[in-house]
């Protein structure tokens, strides 16, 4: 799409880069949609706001801003008010929301994240927003890959921080800046003279991500300049491979579907063709099938133990999977059943 000169005179190369991405992936931030932007006041979120605000005339978005005050610092409320004043000056509606936790409750990364996304979801539902947008960058993606690699995560964990994922109902969480590094957003904020509110907690080594950011990635960049961008690309490739694998698994499972011997309507697989596959393929198929129907992902050791039982010569048996689910097998068939009375409320 060729834009009129007056529409892009104030654009930088970063604006064009994001515009091209959104034209290539139109479902990330569909034209004319109401978007809810999560804005902390840091350089990444401020760059996000500035970029989308500049692109707004061409895409027709209705931009709504949300700022969550975690109340971890005495000056956090003051920072939120300063951010709100800036947003008013830009003609952008912004909602400030404090975390109403108990004063003695110790701040925790996971709890803060859960609260933040919970409130973003509620706000998006109230405003009828189809997208919640965050300023996560390639740097965040590389750090997530390293943290999950250290934890021994499955490939799905290494492919975390995808460009888009379901948040709730028809609301998607979108990260349009994954092609930008933290140095890119810093440069953009400086070029556009954007105000940036520094969060001192970002330098607290008590948080695992901060320690990785301050102590590990600088070493990797010194050893191999551009390491952060390359790690982010690896995460993107893993995400693509995971999606491709999921499609192939669904095709394979379709060939194994059958009818349960008793209930008939319960999910069931043909046991013989499954057992004829390599152990790694059996594990992947069983994992995908169980997750599809139970909504849970099973640890590798649990799957290995389950497959061993399936191959025992007595030919029949069952296993309690928790939450009312039971896996049963008899003769040529493997099937799932559920006791609703034992299911979690």
- Domain residue extents for the chain: 5-240, 257-342
Main-chain phi, psi angles of 336, to 5 degrees: -110, 140
Of the CA atoms within 13 Å of residue 153, those in its CB half-sphere come to 16
Continuous H helices in the chain: 5-8, 13-24, 43-59, 76-89, 109-127, 138-151, 155-158, 182-191, 208-211, 217-223, 227-256, 271-275, 279-294, 300-310
Confidence class for position 5, pLDDT limits 50, 70, 90? very low
Which region among 1-10, 19-28, 89-98 has the lowest average model confidence (pLDDT)? 1-10
Q: What is the mean pLDDT of residues 137-164?
A: 87
The strand pair at 333-338 and 34-38 is best described as unpaired
Q: Output the CA–CA distances (angstroms, integers) from residue 139 to 125, 126, 177, 178, 183, in the order listed.
A: 29, 32, 10, 8, 9
Q: What is the mean pLDDT of residues 308-321?
A: 81
Tokens for 62, please give them: 């209705």
Cα gap 92→50, rounded to integer Å = 11
pLDDT digits (tens, 9 = 90+) for 271-288: 889 989 999 999 999 999
Length of the chain in terms of residues written:
345
Q: What is the chain's mean pLDDT, rounded?
A: 87
Confidence class for position 3, pLDDT limits 50, 70, 90? very low
Cα gap 113→177, rounded to integer Å = 19
Confidence class for position 106, pLDDT limits 50, 70, 90? low
Q: Considering only CA atoms, which of 227, 228, 223 is closest in space to residue 141?
A: 228
- How confident is the model at residue 55, as a pLDDT? 96
> Any idea which architecture 257-342 has in CATH?
2-Layer Sandwich (3.30)
Residue 215 has pLDDT above 70, yes or no: yes
Please enumerate, as own/partner, the contacts of 117-126 that have beta carbons within 8 Å and a separation of 24 or more. Answer: 117/167, 117/173, 119/66, 119/68, 120/36, 120/38, 120/66, 120/68, 120/167, 121/167, 121/168, 121/171, 123/36, 123/64, 123/66, 123/95, 123/97, 124/36, 124/167, 124/168, 124/171, 125/168, 125/169, 125/171
Confidence class for position 260, pLDDT limits 50, 70, 90? confident
Q: What is the mean pLDDT of residues 9-26?
A: 88
- How confident is the model at residue 143, as a pLDDT? 92
Q: What is the mean pLDDT of residues 292-305?
A: 85
**CA-based radius of gyration for the chain:** 24
Which region among 163-167, 176-180, 207-211 has the lowest average model confidence (pLDDT)? 207-211
Confidence class for position 266, pLDDT limits 50, 70, 90? confident
Residue 45 has pLDDT above 80, yes or no: yes
Q: Considering only CA atoms, which of 209, 190, 191 is closest in space to residue 199?
A: 209
Which superfamily does 5-240 belong to?
HUPs (3.40.50.620)
Q: What is the mean pLDDT of residues 122-130?
A: 95
- How confident is the model at residue 301, as a pLDDT? 84
Residue with tokens 């509110």: 197
Highest mean pLDDT among 4-18, 53-67, 240-254: 53-67
Cα gap 264→262, rounded to integer Å = 6
Q: 97 pairs with which residues across the strands?
A: 68
């Amino acid at each position: 799409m060729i834009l009129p000169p007056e529409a892009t005179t104030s654009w930088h190369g970063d604006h064009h880069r994001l515009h091209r991405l959104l034209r290539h992936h139109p479902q990330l931030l569909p034209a004319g949609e109401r978007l809810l932007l999560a804005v902390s006041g840091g350089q990444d979120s401020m760059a996000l706001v500035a970029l989308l605000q500049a692109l707004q005339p061409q895409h027709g978005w209705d931009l709504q801003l949300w700022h969550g005050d975690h109340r971890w610092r005495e000056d956090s409320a003051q920072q939120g008010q300063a951010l709100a004043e800036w947003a008013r000056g830009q003609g952008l509606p912004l909602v400030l929301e404090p975390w109403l936790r108990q004063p003695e409750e110790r701040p925790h990364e996971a709890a803060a994240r859960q609260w933040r996304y919970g409130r973003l979801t509620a706000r998006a539902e109230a405003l009828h927003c189809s997208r919640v947008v965050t300023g996560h960058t390639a740097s965040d993606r590389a750090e997530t890959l390293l943290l999950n690699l250290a934890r021994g995560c499955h490939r799905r964990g290494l492919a975390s921080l995808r460009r888009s994922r379901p948040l709730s109902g028809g609301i998607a969480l979108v990260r349009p800046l994954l092609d930008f590094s933290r140095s890119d957003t810093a440069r953009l904020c400086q070029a556009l003279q954007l105000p940036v509110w520094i969060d001192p907690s970002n330098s607290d080594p008590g948080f695992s991500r901060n320690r990785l950011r301050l102590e590990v990635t600088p070493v990797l960049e010194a050893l191999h300049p551009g390491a952060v961008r390359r790690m982010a690309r690896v995460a993107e490739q893993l995400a693509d491979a995971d999606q491709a694998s999921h499609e192939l698994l669904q095709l394979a499972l379709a060939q194994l579907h059958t009818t349960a011997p008793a209930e008939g309507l319960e999910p069931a697989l043909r046991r013989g063709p499954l057992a004829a596959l390599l152990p790694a393929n059996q594990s992947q198929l069983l994992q995908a099938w169980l997750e599809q129907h139970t909504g849970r992902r099973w640890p590798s050791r649990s799957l290995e133990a389950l497959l061993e039982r399936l191959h025992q010569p007595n030919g029949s048996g069952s296993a309690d999977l928790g939450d009312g689910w039971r896996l049963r097998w008899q003769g040529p068939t493997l099937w799932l059943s559920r006791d609703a009375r034992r299911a979690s409320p």
